[in-house]
């Protein structure tokens, strides 16, 4: 397969089509409009459905409809729109329907701005809607990874019967890089639970309403078991320059890219810095952080927010003897590798004292 030069938003759309996604529902919002536009241009060519909905709320409910009949389905948006999708995410989780939801985050709260930010981490990883559920979250850091993780998101969604969030930001969506697309899939997994009309068999229904509280409790714990299984089998992370590191940066997505530049600089100055880059944000790769804690003295969490993932790092390191600090640039500010390498220097010097 040839390399093509493409933007993150186009890349997700193309990868989704190759992953067998045949329905896309969405409402325009910057900085992810190119995704829907690519779907508008290409989905119908493969016999699929593109529909520009009247709102993100409508879009996510159309997703529920398409998912319920067994179709691979995608919706995408950015922060304010993803807030409107929370109702549907809660229902998808309750129904245990597979779907992929993209959030190309922007500055907030409110309308905020259209610059890249990572302020929706809590919303994404905690289960941003009502009720006792979580959404698995994949956080790519390159256009190639957007392609690979889009395909993976559909597979995980089907395997675990859960909505999966693909969490990027304006930078991920807009930047162009060379990418090798996976070959289109040839078959879809069986979905015996999907509603296809009863035919000659028994009728079925899907309801999130569970009036019996003991039964509701059982359903809640069932979801938890599913998340635990995912934590065991599906947790993903990247280790960067960790062999001899005594100081580690924890960053995901765009900030991890910036951190790599900063770490290279710091390495030139002789600092033994490495990075753990969580790729799944939920399940969070806490085991590797605990392992790394035996090797390094200092953790520096770097986010384009006021500090959200840092709480997961804190929880992962609970009870362990290490130092933890945080550097954040919220609001759509894109920090530079130089800026961040200075931050690394500062904390590194402190650690050595």
Partner 1 sequence: MELVNKWPKYYKQDVVTHYCPGCGHGIVHRIVAELLEEMDLGKQAYLVCPAGCAVLAYRYFDFDVIESAHGRGTAIATGAKRANPKLFVISYQGDGDLSAIGTAETIHSANRGENICVVFINNAVYGMTGGQMAPTSLIGQSTTTSPAGRNPDVDGYPLHITDVVAEFPGVTYAERVSVATPAGIRKTKKAIRNAFQTQVDGLGYSIVEVLSACPTNWKMDPVTSCKWIEEEMVKEYKPGLLTDKREERRKEKG
Q: Which two tokens stand for residue 79?
A: 């922060």
Binding window for partner 1 (CB under 8 A); candidates: 176-184, 194-202, 246-254, 298-306: 194-202
Residue 209: CB minimum distance to partner 1, A: 6
Instruction: Please pick, from the candidates 4, 30, 65, 286, the single residue that binds partner 1 as defined by CB under 8 A.
Output: 65
Kindly state the tokens that stand for 27.
């409402």
Return the range that interacts with partner 1 (CB under 8 A); candidates 28-36, 136-144, 192-200, 328-336. Answer: 192-200
Residue 159 token pair: 């395997």
Stretch that binds partner 1, among 27-35, 203-211, 236-244, 326-334 (CB under 8 A): 203-211
Q: Contacts with partner 1: how many residues (CB under 8 A)?
A: 40
54 is an interface residue for partner 1 by CB under 8 A: yes
Locus of tokens 């640039």: 329
Q: Of 55-63, 169-177, 268-276, 340-348, which part binds partner 1 (CB under 8 A)?
A: 55-63
Q: Is 73 in the site for partner 1 (CB under 8 A)?
A: yes
Tokens standing for residue 21:
């996604």
Q: Is 63 in the site for partner 1 (CB under 8 A)?
A: yes
Dihedral (Cα; 213, 216, 220, 225), 10-degree rounding:
110
Q: Is the distance from CB of 201 to CB of 227 less than 8 angstroms?
A: no
The rounded distance, in Å, linking the Cα atoms of 254 and 334 is: 9
Three-class DSSP category at 76: strand
CA distance 138 to 325: 24
| Residue where the block lists tokens 């804190």 | 314
- For the bound state, the minimum distance from the C-beta of residue 97 to partner 1, rounded and expressed in Å, comes to 10
Report the alpha-carbon distance of residue 332 to residue 304 in Å, rounded. 7
Tell me the C-alpha to C-alpha distance, in Å, between residue 155 and each of 83, 99, 159, 264, 273.
25, 10, 6, 35, 35
For position 57 contacting partner 1 by CB under 8 A, the verdict is yes
71 binds partner 1 per the rule CB under 8 A? yes
Nearer to partner 1 among residue 1 and residue 202 (C-beta): 202
Which residues would be at the binding site for partner 1 (CB under 8 A)?
A: 22-23, 25, 49, 51, 53-55, 57-59, 61-71, 73, 87-88, 91, 95, 195-200, 203-209
């Amino acid at each position: 397969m040839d390399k093509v030069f493409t933007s993150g938003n186009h890349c997700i759309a193309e990868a989704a089509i190759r992953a067998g996604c045949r329905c896309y529902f969405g409402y325009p919002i910057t900085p992810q409009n190119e995704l829907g536009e690519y779907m508008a241009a290409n989905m119908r060519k493969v016999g699929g459905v593109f529909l520009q909905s009247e709102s993100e709320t409508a879009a996510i409910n159309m997703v529920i409809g398409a998912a319920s009949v067994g179709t691979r389905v995608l919706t995408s948006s950015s922060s304010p729109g993803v807030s409107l999708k929370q109702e549907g995410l809660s229902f998808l989780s309750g129904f245990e329907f597979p779907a992929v939801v993209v959030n190309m985050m922007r500055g907030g709260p409110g309308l905020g701005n259209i610059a890249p930010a990572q302020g929706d981490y809590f919303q994404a990883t905690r289960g941003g809607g009502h009720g006792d559920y979580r959404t698995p979250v994949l956080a790519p850091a390159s256009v190639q990874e957007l392609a690979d993780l889009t395909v993976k998101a559909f597979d995980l969604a089907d395997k675990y019967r859960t909505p999966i969030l693909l969490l990027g930001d304006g930078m991920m969506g807009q930047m162009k890089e060379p990418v090798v697309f996976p070959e289109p899939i040839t078959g879809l997994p069986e979905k015996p639970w999907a509603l296809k009309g009863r035919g000659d068999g028994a009728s079925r229904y899907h309801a999130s309403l569970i009036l019996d509280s003991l039964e509701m409790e059982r359903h809640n714990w069932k979801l938890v078991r599913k998340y635990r299984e995912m934590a065991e089998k599906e947790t993903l992370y990247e280790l960067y320059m960790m062999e001899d590191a005594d100081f580690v940066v924890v960053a995901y997505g765009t900030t991890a890219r910036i951190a790599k530049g900063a770490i290279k600089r710091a390495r030139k100055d002789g600092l033994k810095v490495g990075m753990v880059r969580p790729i799944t944000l939920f399940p969070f790769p806490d085991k590797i952080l605990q392992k790394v804690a035996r090797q390094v003295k200092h953790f520096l969490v770097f986010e384009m927010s006021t500090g959200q993932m840092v709480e997961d790092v804190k929880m992962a390191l609970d009870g362990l003897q290490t130092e933890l600090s945080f550097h954040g640039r919220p609001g759509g500010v894109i920090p530079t590798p130089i800026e961040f390498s200075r931050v690394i220097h500062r904390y590194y010097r402190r650690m050595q004292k």
